[in-house]
Structure 1
């Protein structure tokens, strides 16, 4: 079931401390129905439909400029206004400018008045609008710098499309958690907050943001960086399972592209680690079996691939020899009748013997050494044979292109794919995760 995506805004507050730049974190209250219960977070929340009414009170930025900065057709200023509103509600810090264009200093107000103003703002955007109007204040959205854009992975109970902003903590104000949504606050250096030894419960996006913030030595450097960004890409992690349990996999991780292909809806059946004996259904036509690391040296790669079509007959590419630990897994994992045994390795006697040894498992299978340029019809799946390397050697490595899925089986580690060509979309390497081919 597709889950609705809610738009949100987050404001990351920064200050320069004695030991370097510090960031504000709030601890969320413990709630049974909250997937982020007890987590340390930045102030933020959902963009309200009424946040648009705050546009006339926004200082130094109009909706056209805000929308252009965020890359949206309109309504960009809603995010800035929501970030300011949520920061005031959750942390008690208000980015508002007075008539002299100075950020207001709330600490100078009588505590009962400040509490009443905050309570009024929590009633909704109309109350915040009235409060600012009565004080002669405008929301200081021009003090915010757009920093990053994250989308919660598919498969999570709640999904948020969130714009992250950064700003320097205003002088003359103090952080006061609201006691309901947030119950504690702390100022920490980003690297310290992100370090496991600190023991904070952090969402993936919070940890990744802290790691990015840790690269800056001062608030000025961080703000300058954010304001100079020409374009901010969308980051959408994906859920996958593995030795440490289910977790979010970020876009720069090796498994990301494979997860996006085989589990686009985030059911969690994809894996972020390749373990010996792992059987992975890459598509209806392709099943992969991963061998152990110590066996990889005796074969073209640590993966073997079953490739077939609707006929129910399958080719097996790069199987390890009979008697290896993987060969037992291969027999169990076979999705149907194995009719052809293929190898990407050069045709040496050792490679021939390796394929021939599999006849004890599949006695009626044909051992094939096709020539480059040949086409193998597997019945609903077509393999085009390619030469993997130039040269005059009689021992030449091969590649196989599954035409229907534009997937190239290389037998090589990683992204190596000579002569891939424009018709190749995916690389299925001899070891490692499948990945998109950069044409």
Structure 2
């Protein structure tokens, strides 16, 4: 069989900043979220998906700052942890919601929430048409009517970055607001073609058949914890630090998918595939061999009695060391890039026997230096100095009396991972 060359990853486009506004209300059975169905379009990764209102931050959104009340740029920037321009995201979220869903979070000249249902239908249609022409049109129509965008009714609660390797990437801030009284949802018919008010659990139900992007699914899962819309609003307002969520693409038994930051494989995928080719794995499969670096291979046992256990081959030009519970067998010898000269264990209660070639518990394998060390819990460990990778049974992230920082933990079961922050 001829070897095939993996297809190159799509050339990434520049990361674009964006804002999304999740609109909530209380239905007869509790919290409901507004979902819009995007129009079917070629070469659109969100084509036909059910989404929240949102879109790209326009270069002219800064001109809407003068229209915003309840929040200035300094406060908005501090809230979303940027040096300046934070109000751009709030303004973009409000603008996009009006363009796509026909909802406008604004106050009139008396500082009362704007009631669009009280406008003549022809006036409202003209406003929607004008808004679709660009940011300046929204600025003009609000100024003409004495309206101000209600930045204080829009609450920041999430930050997501599209995975590397995707043809279109967005750095998106997520906001939430309550459905404004005196308004009705009207999809624009161009970007969005239908709308639904759904309980998060119903939107997530596979039986409904919605096409959901990973980030939409994750936000719905967040919302599903709360019974009422005002409960989630209160939760969002009290958030202090909002982490960046950047999924990573990987392959596995269920096909290629996004892997989120709390999943066990996340750190390893980023280490093996920082460019997002999607060829790292999110599942450890029996008998699998993974090259973790030029110095390290991981082998997952195929034996039922050792299900999920890892053995590691570590080495260089002078030979290889087997670390793990398995005895050196034909499969391990075949996987090794060179001769396997030593076998050591990280199992608790064992003490590796150091041959003469390991002076002071250190072995130079030719470009790879392996040190026998003791974990802070007393278990035997081995440190690959060049990669600051610790091979350990227990998953300990520190070494008793060590002066070597650790960047990676290679456990006896599971994926390699970064040590927890201290």
Is TM more than 0.5 here?
Answer: yes
Structure 2 counterparts to residues 31-42 of structure 1, below 5 A: 31-42=41-52
1:429 and 2:396 correspond: no
TM-fit CA distance, 1:312: 5.9
- Listed one character per residue, the Cα deviations across residues 74-132 of structure 1 (whole Å, up to 9, x for unaligned) are 11110011001100111111111101211111112121211111000110111111111
Question: What CA distance in whole angstroms lies between the structure 2 residues aligned with 1:378 and 1:346?
Answer: 25
Q: In structure 1, what is the equivalent of residue 385 of structure 2?
A: 403
Q: In structure 1, what is the equivalent of residue 7 of structure 2?
A: none
Cα distance 1:145–1:390, how it changes in 2: closer, same or farther (>3 A)? closer
Question: What CA distance in whole angstroms lies between the structure 2 residues aligned with 1:370 and 1:197?
Answer: 63
1:336 and 2:354 correspond: no
Q: In structure 2, what is the equivalent of residue 357 of structure 1?
A: none
Q: In structure 2, what is the equivalent of residue 60 of structure 1?
A: 70
TM-score by length of structure 2 reads: 0.91
Q: In structure 2, what is the equivalent of residue 321 of structure 1?
A: 327
Provide the alpha-carbon RMSD of the alignment: 2.4
Question: What CA distance in whole angstroms lies between the structure 2 residues aligned with 1:417 and 1:370?
Answer: 27
Cα distance 1:370–1:426, how it changes in 2: closer, same or farther (>3 A)? farther
1:234 and 2:244 correspond: yes
Question: What CA distance in whole angstroms lies between the structure 1 residues aligned with 2:244 and 2:348?
Answer: 43
1:419 and 2:399 correspond: yes
- Listed one character per residue, the Cα deviations across residues 313-368 of structure 1 (whole Å, up to 9, x for unaligned) are 2222226236xxxx45423322223233333347889x99xxxxxxxxxxxxxx95
Query: Does the residue aligned with 2:221 lie in a helix, a strand or coil?
Result: helix
- Asked if the contact 1:372–1:386 (Cα under 8 Å) also holds between the matched residues in 2, the reply is no
Query: Does the residue aligned with 2:69 lie in a helix, a strand or coil?
Result: coil
- Asked if the contact 2:161–2:171 (Cα under 8 Å) also holds between the matched residues in 1, the reply is yes
Q: In structure 2, what is the equivalent of residue 362 of structure 1?
A: none
Cα distance 1:390–1:272, how it changes in 2: closer, same or farther (>3 A)? closer
1:132 and 2:139 correspond: no
TM-fit CA distance, 1:292: 2.7
TM-score by length of structure 1 reads: 0.88
1:205 and 2:221 correspond: no
Q: Which runs of 5+ in 1 are unaligned?
A: 353-366, 392-396
Question: What CA distance in whole angstroms lies between the structure 1 residues aligned with 2:27 and 2:350?
Answer: 66
Question: What CA distance in whole angstroms lies between the structure 2 residues aligned with 1:190 and 1:347?
Answer: 50
Question: What CA distance in whole angstroms lies between the structure 2 residues aligned with 1:98 and 1:37?
Answer: 36
1:262 and 2:272 correspond: yes
- Asked if the contact 2:377–2:396 (Cα under 8 Å) also holds between the matched residues in 1, the reply is no
Task: Please point out which of 178, 181, 189 is paired with 1:171.
Answer: 181
1:93 and 2:93 correspond: no
Question: What CA distance in whole angstroms lies between the structure 1 residues aligned with 2:23 and 2:193?
Answer: 17
